Chain A
Amino acid sequence: MTALPQTTEKKLGLVIDLDICVGCHACVVNCKEWNTSNYGAPLSDIDPYGAEPMGTFLNRVHSYEVKSEGCNAQTVHFPKSCLHCDDAPCVTVCPTGASYKRAEDGIVLVNEDNCIGCGLCAWACPYGARELDQMEGVMKKCTLCVDRIYNENIPEIDRLPACVRTCPAGARHFGDFADPDSNVSRLSAERGGMELMPEQGTKPVNRYLPPRPKSDVTAENKIDLLAPYLAPMDEADSAKGFLGWLDKALEKI
């Protein structure tokens, strides 16, 4: 039944550190690699070597520029996958019961044998976390690598979602938000972990850590070691010696 559980024992989810993410897309690639050959139907690619290659991905990395008046612009790389919402609107709209949220750990999953591919859950998700596979006609979404995290056939160090395991910058963390002492709960509390689009009322589990404040090299009273070397030469200097002669000679050509 597509009713949401009242509470979940655990709240497994991700912390994504926007201060650290370098936008390398390794999480996107490893997510695709693991999930195309494990849980459910493969993640198909349409016209992969053609003019407009399209494919199903469970994780995407957007890149934004943030700029406020009088400050330097900054780049923020922004990975986005299912947030495993407590009040997941994608689950309750499902007409077949294919979409469900697990009472034991809060993971939102799709039972592909029941999915008719109507796409309504993707419409209900504000985050674009669900993509309909064009070959299989079933809805695909992040499983939080449910087939890795409990998998006793792989070394313990690998029992993490593929995106977390592979992130070379350490920008992704996996844990239980129901436990206030877990790594993710503490990180989120320390760094002001935020919800995406809280006004949608979806109560997402995943948290995003905002970029730390940047120091501003252009501000006054800052010591800038390179400035003297980069200052332009004045007219008098440039007119002397070999360089001065070269300057004049080149001007005449």
Chain B
Amino acid sequence: MHPAPSVIVFTSLSGLGFGLMFWMGFGVPDVFGWTAFWMYFVAYALAVGGLIASTLHLGNPQRAIKAFSQWRTSWLSREGVAAVLTLLVVAAYAIELIFFQSRYPLLGWIGSLLAIATVFTTSKIYNQLKTVPRWNLPLTPLLFLTYALAGGALLAGQVLTAAVLLLVLTGLQMVAWQMGDKAFANAGHSIETATGLGHLGKVRQLENAHSSPNYLMKEMVYVVARKHAQKLRAIALVTLGLLPAAILLFLPFNHALALVAVASHLIGVFTARWLFFAEAEHVVGLYYDKR
């Protein structure tokens, strides 16, 4: 799949933002006033910034409001609804923390549940697609949720929780890559099932259906730069989990080091999310004899 920057930015940043909102809804960390303001500023900048980025790839963003209407059937619509509900509920909770120095726990918990539900709906947009076997694994939602919880804990300054979750995330990401590498073959799709000509023999493309690439090939038959996938995976594992966890566990906690850990994690998340799209193989590639 084409790794569109807008979608990589959206899923990475809004995941982190909603992850931070999740922890803060439980009073983790226990902050009020200006500290709470700045933390919620970061959470909203990430979540809303990501959501705005996601509208950049739309062909007709002026009609985006209509995307809230089909929540009964569409995960994308559910995500929009969940995101707006989360932002509203968390805003009410945050206003109380910031301006009235008090906490209404029930509102916080509801906000946290909504925040994590939003991340789940994001993951389902990709996970539901049978056409992309690598995404169509039960691990995909779990991976997105762990990304949000680990990144959120890191931003919330929860040293031990974040370190443990980052290590869990690193392991989970490794397993996801290993399972993902086999997913296409396991799903049983081939150029023979795509064309229905398998009973006649081995099928290969004789001639292109069109002389230059079309929307389908640019969007779904993205094969560029996969040769660096293994190196990028290694970079992602070190930067998203191992390095930040090591900083948290073995170095004395201070804000400068925490910033390094966050920056490293962000680089790792972007790299892993780029791979999430670039390595995803859509079955339509079979019609082009490409994967």
Q: Is the CB of A196 within 8 A of B66?
A: no
CA distance A219 to B275 in the complex (A): 51
B220–A128 contact, CB under 8 A? Answer: yes
Is A134 within 8 A of B215, CB to CB?
yes
**CA of A118 to CA of B4, assembled, Å:** 12
Q: Is the CB of A97 within 8 A of B214?
A: no
Residues on A with C-beta less than 8 A from B220 are 122-123, 128
Is there a chain B Cβ closer than 8 Å to A38's Cβ?
Answer: no
Contact residue among A63, A94, A131, A200 (Cβ-Cβ distance under 8 Å from B131): A200
CA distance A127 to B128 in the complex (A): 17
Q: Are A54 and B214 in contact (CB under 8 A)?
A: yes
Contact A126 B283 (CB under 8 A): yes
Contact A210 B284 (CB under 8 A): no
B194 interface residue per 8 A CB criterion = yes
Flag if B210 contacts A60 (CB, 8 Å): yes
Asked if B219 CB lies within 8 Å of chain A CBs, one says yes
- Determine whether the beta carbon of B212 is less than 8 Å from that of A95: no
Whole-angstrom distance between the Cβ of A159 and the nearest chain B Cβ: 28
The minimal Cβ–Cβ distance linking A72 to chain B, given in whole angstroms, is 10
Q: Which of B54-98 contact A (CB under 8 A)?
A: 57-61, 63-64, 66-70, 72-77, 80
A143 at the interface (CB under 8 A from B): no
Q: Is B230 at the interface (CB under 8 A from chain A)?
A: no
Q: Is the CB of B132 within 8 A of A196?
A: no
Contact partner, B216, options A2, A67, A71, A128, Cβ 8 Å? A128
CB contact list, A225-250 vs B, under 8 A:
none
Whether the Cβ atoms of B209 and A54 lie closer than 8 Å is no
Complex Cα distance, B188 from A52, in Å, reads: 34
> In the bound complex, do residue A118 and residue B57 qualify as a contact, i.e. CB atoms below 8 Å apart?
yes
A133 to B214, CA, bound (A): 10
What is the predominant secondary structure among interface residues of chain A facing chain B?
loop
Known: A52-B213, A80-B287, A97-B70. 13 other contacts (CB 8 A): A53-B211, A56-B215, A67-B204, A68-B202, A96-B63, A97-B66, A116-B64, A118-B76, A124-B129, A126-B194, A200-B189, A200-B283, A210-B196
Q: Are B131 and A124 neighbours in the complex by a CB distance under 8 Å?
A: yes
Report yes or no: B197 in contact with A116, Cβ–Cβ below 8 A.
no
Contact assessment for A125 and B206 in the assembled complex, using a CB-CB cutoff below 8 Å: no
Whether B196 pairs with A54 at a CB distance below 8 angstroms is no
Query: Residue B60 contacts which of A55, A57, A64, A117 (CB distance < 8 angstroms)?
Result: A117
B-side contacts of A125, CB under 8 Å: 131, 284
CB of A189 to closest CB in B, whole Å: 16
CB distance from B71 to the nearest CB of A (A): 9
Say if the beta carbon of B1 comes within 8 Å of chain A.
Answer: yes
In the complex, what residues of A have CB within 8 A of residue B67's CB? 95-96, 116, 118
Q: Which of A1, A136, A199 has the most CB of B within 10 A?
A: A199
B132/A123 in contact, CB under 8 A: yes
A71 to B199, CA, bound (A): 13
**What chain A residues lie within 8 Å of B199 (beta carbons)?**
210
Are A67 and B202 interface neighbours, CB within 8 A? yes
Least distance between B226 CB and chain A CB atoms (Å): 19
Alpha-carbon gap, A133 to B201, bound state (A):
36
Q: A75 touching B63 by the CB < 8 A rule?
A: no
